[in-house]
């Protein structure tokens, strides 16, 4: 028997263990052995590795999903070119009936841009990152190109209408350049903020006369306005079949001309028929090249002289060449297509600084007259007398 009725304590514990009353252990409990601790830690480590593996896989999946989701950006890249004095699917791109035509030779290419992204398609963030690294592609926020809510059908309809308008205006500009008469009927389409005609004219009013002179085109109307000396111009109009006369105030423009502040739409009556055969190309930017192709068809001798030229630019009936989008992509596409000379709108020239590919020369033009002179100079082996871009 031991004293005081207590059970004896062990003098020593098993190797590697702690005594029952060791500090940090509750009296009377058996702490785990080193093997148990190792097993528990191993299981915990395995759980952590599994969690880490699952988490990594989930993060990777989320990353892949994110880069594959549609992005709010549009990508512009070089598109194909089409020779306006050549053929498309075995048919002439431009066919003129009702006037004598002449053989052409060489290329007067219109240029295009591939547009990827909503609302006509979609781009991923991976596409965007790739395009950012390519000097011939452009990444543009979608809202800068299309208003919110624009549908694919609306874009297609707008591009189709713009292409049709550019073709009509190209015919008008070509005939104006060649001195061939045609008739242009003008209609009111809207008003500028400065206009004082909002209570006098209405959309769809047809303009017939200006100060007693027949209105047969935009240039004639501009001439009557400038001859007014700042006095109101009496317009003879047709509204809903009724002939009316209204005095429309004018105001000075930035370049000294007199303006009504009226946006005009137009219909044309041409003395010849021009048909353009080209599919899946929309927008207004082919106008200048269409006009050059028509001029080449209607003038003796191959204007391009067998050389390979390309270009872009909108065209007004008076021959004004307007700037366009995607100029870098169009020059690149033209160079890839073999063009040696490119005609660019004056307003786009600055965008090409340091971005013109080797092997192609870009000339700046502001009017159809300048563009025609440049083509004739290149076609005859000379140098165009207009500035270069890039």
pLDDT digits (tens, 9 = 90+) for 320-375: 999 999 999 999 999 999 999 999 999 999 999 999 999 999 999 999 999 999 99
Question: What confidence score (pLDDT) does residue 32 get?
Answer: 45
Of 21-30, 186-195, 303-312, which range is least confident? 21-30
| Percentage of the chain lying above the pLDDT 90 cut | 61
H or E segment and range at residue 333: helix 327-336
Q: With 50 as the cut, is the pLDDT of residue 22 above it?
A: no
Residues whose CB falls within 8 Å of the CB of residue 244, separated by 6 or more in sequence, listed in order: 236, 237, 238
Question: What confidence score (pLDDT) does residue 11 get?
Answer: 35
Rg (CA), the chain: 37
Question: What confidence score (pLDDT) does residue 60 get?
Answer: 52
Question: What confidence score (pLDDT) does residue 30 get?
Answer: 46
Report in angstroms the alpha-carbon separations of 339 from 9, 241, 297.
Answer: 103, 51, 20
- Bigger pLDDT: 49 vs 216: 216
Inter-residue contact 380 to 386 (CB < 8 Å): no
For 125-167, give the DSSP string.
Answer: HHHHHHHHT-TT-EEEEGGGTS-TT--HHHHHHHHHHHHHHHH
**Which of 21, 47, 17 lies closest to 32, judged by CA?**
17
Q: With 50 as the cut, is the pLDDT of residue 9 above it?
A: no
| Angle value at C-alpha 201, between 197 and 202, nearest 5 degrees | 130
Question: What confidence score (pLDDT) does residue 263 get?
Answer: 94
For 251-305, give the DSSP string.
Answer: EE-TTS-EE--EEEEEEEE-SSEEEE---S--SSTTHHHHHHHHHHHHSSS-TTT
Give residue-wise pLDDT tens across range 55-77.
555 555 445 555 566 788 889 99
**Which of 363, 355, 292, 282 lies closest to 109, judged by CA?**
292
Residues 336, 341: Cα–Cα separation, whole Å? 12
For 30-36, the CB contacts below 8 A with 24+ separation are none
Question: What confidence score (pLDDT) does residue 163 get?
Answer: 87
Q: Residue 279 — pLDDT band, cuts 50, 70, 90?
A: confident
For 88-129, give the DSSP string.
Answer: ETTEESEEEESS------SEEEEEEEEEESTTTS--BHHHHH
Inter-residue contact 386 to 370 (CB < 8 Å): yes
Question: What confidence score (pLDDT) does residue 7 get?
Answer: 38
Residues 226, 258: Cα–Cα separation, whole Å? 5
Q: With 70 as the cut, is the pLDDT of residue 18 above it?
A: no
**Which of 264, 265, 237, 246 lies closest to 200, judged by CA?**
246
Q: With 80 as the cut, is the pLDDT of residue 231 above it?
A: yes
Rounded to an integer, what is the distance from CA 78 to the centroid of its chain? Answer: 11
Give residue-wise pLDDT tens across range 286-295.
999 999 999 9
Q: Averaged over 166-179, what is the pLDDT?
A: 95
Q: Averaged over 5-18, what is the pLDDT?
A: 36
Question: What confidence score (pLDDT) does residue 154 get?
Answer: 86
Q: With 70 as the cut, is the pLDDT of residue 203 above it?
A: yes
**Which of 170, 41, 43, 31 lies closest to 110, judged by CA?**
170
Residues whose CB falls within 8 Å of the CB of residue 291, separated by 6 or more in sequence, listed in order: 170, 171, 173, 174, 177, 315, 319, 368, 371
Rounded to an integer, what is the distance from CA 163 to the centroid of its chain? Answer: 14
Residues 225, 259: Cα–Cα separation, whole Å? 7
Question: What confidence score (pLDDT) does residue 53 get?
Answer: 55
Inter-residue contact 39 to 33 (CB < 8 Å): no
Residues 172, 180: Cα–Cα separation, whole Å? 9
Q: With 70 as the cut, is the pLDDT of residue 242 above it?
A: yes
Q: With 60 as the cut, is the pLDDT of residue 1 above it?
A: no
Question: What confidence score (pLDDT) does residue 21 get?
Answer: 39
Give residue-wise pLDDT tens across range 91-133.
999 999 999 999 999 999 999 999 888 888 888 888 888 888 8
Q: What is the mean pLDDT of the chain?
A: 85
Question: What confidence score (pLDDT) does residue 84 get?
Answer: 98
Pairing of strands 87-88, 138-141: unpaired
């Amino acid at each position: 028997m031991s004293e005081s009725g207590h059970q004896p304590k062990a003098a020593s514990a098993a190797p590697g263990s702690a005594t029952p009353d060791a500090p940090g252990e509750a009296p009377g409990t058996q702490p785990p052995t080193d093997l148990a601790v190792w097993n528990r830690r191993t299981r915990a480590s395995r759980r952590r590795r599994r969690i880490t593996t699952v988490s990594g896989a989930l993060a990777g999946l989320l990353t892949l999903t994110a880069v594959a989701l549609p992005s709010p950006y549009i990508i512009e890249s070089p598109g194909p070119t089409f020779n306006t004095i050549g053929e498309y699917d075995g048919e002439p791109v431009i066919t003129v009936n009702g006037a004598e035509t002449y053989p052409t030779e060489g290329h007067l290419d219109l240029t295009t841009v591939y547009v990827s992204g909503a609302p006509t398609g979609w781009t991923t963030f991976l596409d965007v990152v790739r395009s950012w690294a390519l000097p011939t592609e452009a990444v543009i926020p979608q809202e800068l190109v299309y208003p919110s809510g624009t549908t694919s059908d609306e874009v297609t309809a707008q591009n189709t209408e713009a292409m049709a308008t550019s073709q009509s205006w190209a015919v008008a500009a070509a005939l104006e350049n060649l001195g061939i008469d045609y008739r242009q009927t003008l209609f009111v389409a809207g008003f500028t903020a400065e206009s004082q005609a909002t209570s006098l004219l209405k959309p769809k009013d047809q303009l017939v006369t200006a100060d007693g002179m027949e209105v047969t085109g935009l240039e004639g109307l501009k001439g009557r306005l400038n001859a007014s000396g700042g006095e109101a111009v009496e317009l003879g109009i047709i509204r809903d079949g009724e002939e009316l006369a209204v005095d429309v105030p004018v105001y000075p423009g930035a370049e000294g001309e007199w303006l009504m502040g009226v946006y005009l739409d137009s219909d044309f009556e041409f003395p010849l028929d021009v048909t353009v055969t080209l599919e899946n190309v929309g927008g207004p930017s082919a106008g200048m090249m269409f006009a050059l192709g028509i001029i080449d068809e209607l003038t003796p001798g191959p204007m391009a002289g067998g050389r390979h030229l390309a270009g872009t630019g909108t065209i007004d009936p008076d021959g004004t060449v307007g700037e366009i989008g995607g100029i870098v992509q169009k020059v690149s596409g033209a160079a890839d297509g073999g063009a040696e000379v490119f005609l660019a709108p004056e307003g786009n020239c600055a965008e090409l600084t340091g971005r013109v590919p080797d092997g192609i020369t870009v000339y700046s033009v502001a009017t159809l007259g300048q563009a025609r002179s440049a083509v004739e100079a290149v076609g005859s082996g000379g140098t165009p007398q207009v500035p270069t871009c890039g």
